[in-house]
Amino acid sequence: MKILKTVEELQNIRKTISSNVGFVPTMGALHNGHISLIKKAREENDIVIVSIFLNPTQFLPGEDLDNYPRRDEADKRICELCKVDYLFMPEISTMYEKEEVLIKAPNKSYILEGKTRPGHFDGVLQVVLKLFGIVQPTNAYFGKKDAQQLTLIMQMVKNLFLCVNIVPCEIVREEDGLALSSRNIYLDSNQRKDALCLSQSLFMAGALISRGERNSQIIKDRINEVMKDLDIEYIAIVDREFNEIDTIEVKNTIILIVVRFGKTRLLDNIWL
């Protein structure tokens, strides 16, 4: 594995590659969820490139940019074990200049995640577009846990006619059901136990739907019952275009949950 720090290094190497390139963009603090993306990229491509870049433009004032977990040496070892070919680890000054061409996310970026984090998705799309321009991947791998982000990236690729195939990947969970997240380390033992209510409520909703329930409000009410003692930010039932729906549409519905545990904000979802 070769570690690259500059855009020029990566671009020069990319010019020599004529086979398929799989790309996994990350912010570091790699866990089994990231590893599943890297392994899938390894299975499906001749060359695998991973980026680790803690992108400042997607963090709002007061969010956890300064405290976001950083484990560069451990992340390097993980990438080596996963047989990554190139690890791109640029500095902020490498990725951004004083004056930037800005990316404007569409209106649906201001609902749900974007409602409490206005401008967050502008920053996400900006850095992903930059990385796509540098790496020029054949396939790029993203987890379904960040469902709204995934949908917006797919729309950007379509709207800007980018030659990259977006590969959505299933959520990876702990044995007890908790969705993997770099922010899970912020939870104390009691919060970690309470956080299981997210996946438990989603699995319960899936069971209700499998038994024929289609009323979105009834499902939301049942989810609320499971999480009644938690600080719920939102529960939403939407179609794949992120329009809220009153009736479950099988194969076209996502149920999303965000809960706060002190300063830690966890999200989870289930795709139906």
Which residues are marked as active site?
A: 34
The residue with tokens 């009410």 is: 221
Amino acid at 102: L
43 burial (CB, 10 Å; 0-12 / 13-18 / 19+) is exposed
| Those residues with Cβ within 8 angstroms of residue 196's Cβ, 6 or more apart along the chain or in another chain | 176, 177, 178
Specify whether the CB–CB gap between 121 and 148 falls below 8 A: yes
CA Rg, the chain, in Å? 19
